[in-house]
């Protein structure tokens, strides 16, 4: 039985949900408790996929989605050399819009995300809660200290292969290509994860997820390949505008403390929004650059996007051979990882999208 396989002390150790040394004891234990209980609930309440599919009360859309997920996972194992193991063999319908709610924070006058450190995961630029209320309380505490705070809901996350992660109702079931990308991204964290290097880990997993998505779509023989290409180009261009805004703001923050005025920052955000409009990136992109502005959100987005082109270039240099790419990235020493992250590889259309603001 699943509950016997993962007794509570081992679960806590595996998740790396150690105490945050920057907090008082009560606050630390409160966070630790919600993290363990939240993960425990996912494991305890999830059911085997076959059982869910055989249940007459399960909607047809869920049955079909779960069957599609299993095909996606077989492709991950057979064609992408990703370690599936016992992951995603169970399913859970959640009663909320996200599985975890992450708090991102930037201290006053700075241009870097605050980090929290844990034993296994290392230092990461966010703090995750299994309830929106818990995340909001932490966000309110940080705002009271003058921090810029962004609260982001996540439909999925990885336990790095330590636990049998379940399929969740918060996954993008309406789009099989997006579902494939999400699963391949999360599985990639089991291939390579460097404690304390969140930007490296996320860019690597994002590159793998996107490459896997493209190959999955091709394997399905879809007529929508052209649309997928257009979507990828638009997403890369959005990342370029984000990169340009980040670079412009970073330059201003590099000056005298306490950083640029609110008016100067607003002008740069407005320039980024105008570029999104001119490039027809869509209302979502335009809304992203519209008030209220958040440095924490911008830097959180950059954590996932900024270095992805460098990893895609490294994959291309490996001839598209994913196992060779995995091995090459795992063999990098700290200096080489830093150099890769700093390499000036522009996304598609970068000359226009990522041009200085």
pLDDT digits (tens, 9 = 90+) for 94-115: 999 999 899 999 999 899 999 9
Q: What is the pLDDT of residues 317-344, one digit of tens each?
A: 999 999 999 999 999 999 999 999 988 6
DSSP 8-state code for residue 293: P
Contacts of 333 (CB under 8 A, 6+ apart): none
Does 45 score more than 60 pLDDT?
yes
The chain-wide mean pLDDT, for the chain, equals: 86
Comparison of pLDDT for 123 and 4, the residue scoring more: 123
- Position 2 scores a pLDDT of 32
Spatial strand order of the sheet with 100-106 comes to 127-129, 100-106, 148-154
Q: Where are the alpha helices (DSSP H) in 16-131?
A: 25-45, 49-54, 60-79
Does 345 score more than 70 pLDDT?
no
Q: What is the pLDDT of residues 171-225, one digit of tens each?
A: 999 999 999 999 999 999 999 999 889 899 999 999 999 999 999 988 887 655 6
Whether 147 contacts 108, CB under 8 Å: yes
Rounded CA separation 95/98 (Å): 9
Helix (H) or strand (E) holding 154: strand 148-154
With CA atoms as reference, report the closest residue to 184 among 164, 156, 162. Answer: 156
Average pLDDT value for residue range 291-315: 91
User: If 0-12 CB within 10 Å is exposed, 13-18 middle and 19+ buried, where does residue 331 land?
Assistant: exposed
Average pLDDT value for residue range 85-91: 95
Rounded CA separation 270/293 (Å): 10
- Position 223 scores a pLDDT of 55
Comparison of pLDDT for 89 and 239, the residue scoring more: 89
Average pLDDT value for residue range 279-288: 93
Confidence of residue 348 (pLDDT cuts 50, 70, 90): low
Rounded CA separation 58/60 (Å): 6
User: Tokens 């966070």 sit at which residue?
Assistant: 31
Comparison of pLDDT for 15 and 90, the residue scoring more: 90
Confidence of residue 228 (pLDDT cuts 50, 70, 90): low
Rounded CA separation 250/351 (Å): 20
Q: 153 — alpha (psi -120 to 50), left (phi > 0) or beta?
A: beta
Q: Where are the alpha helices (DSSP H) in 145-261?
A: 176-191, 198-219, 225-253
Does 6 score more than 80 pLDDT?
no
Whether 158 contacts 188, CB under 8 Å: no
Does 87 score more than 60 pLDDT?
yes
Q: What is the pLDDT of residues 49-77, one digit of tens each?
A: 999 999 999 999 999 999 999 999 999 99
Least confident of 128-132, 225-229, 308-312, 339-343: 225-229
Cis peptide before 258 (omega within 30 of 0): yes
Rounded CA separation 182/189 (Å): 11
Sketch the domain layout of the chain as residue ranges. 225-353
Q: What are phi and psi of 167, to 5 degrees?
A: -70, 145
């Amino acid at each position: 039985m699943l509950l016997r396989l993962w007794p509570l002390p081992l679960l806590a150790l595996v998740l790396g949900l150690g105490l945050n040394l920057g907090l008082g004891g009560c606050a630390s234990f409160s966070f630790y408790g919600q993290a363990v209980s939240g993960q425990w609930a996912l494991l305890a309440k999830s059911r085997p996929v076959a059982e869910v599919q055989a249940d007459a009360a399960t909607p047809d859309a869920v049955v079909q989605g779960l069957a599609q997920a299993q095909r996606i996972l077989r492709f991950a194992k057979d064609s992408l050399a990703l370690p599936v193991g016992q992951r995603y063999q169970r399913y859970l319908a959640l009663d909320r819009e996200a599985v975890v709610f992450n708090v991102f924070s930037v201290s006053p006058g700075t241009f870097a995300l605050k980090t929290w450190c844990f034993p296994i995961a290392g230092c990461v630029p966010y703090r995750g809660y299994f309830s929106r209320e818990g995340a909001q309380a932490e966000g309110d505490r940080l705002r009271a200290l003058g921090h810029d705070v962004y609260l982001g809901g996540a439909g999925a996350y990885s336990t790095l292969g330590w636990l049998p992660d379940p399929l969740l109702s918060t996954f993008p079931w309406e789009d099989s290509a997006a579902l494939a990308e999400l699963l391949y991204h999360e599985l990639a964290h089991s291939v390579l994860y460097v404690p304390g290097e969140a930007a490296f880990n996320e860019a690597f997993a994002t590159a793998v997820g996107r490459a896997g998505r493209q190959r999955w779509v091709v394997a399905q023989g879809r007529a929508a390949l052209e649309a997928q290409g257009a979507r990828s180009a638009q997403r890369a261009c959005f990342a370029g505008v984000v990169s340009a805004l980040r670079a412009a703001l970073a330059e201003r923050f590099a000056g005298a403390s306490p950083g640029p005025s609110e008016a100067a920052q607003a002008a740069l955000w407005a320039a980024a929004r105008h570029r999104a409009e001119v490039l027809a990136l869509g209302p979502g992109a335009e809304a992203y650059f519209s008030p209220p502005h958040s440095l924490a959100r911008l830097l959180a987005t950059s954590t996932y996007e900024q270095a992805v082109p460098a990893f895609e270039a490294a994959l291309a240099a490996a001839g598209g051979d994913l196992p060779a790419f995995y091995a090459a990235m795992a063999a990098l020493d700290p200096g080489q990882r830093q150099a890769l992250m700093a390499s000036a590889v522009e996304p598609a259309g970068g000359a226009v999208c990522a041009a200085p603001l």
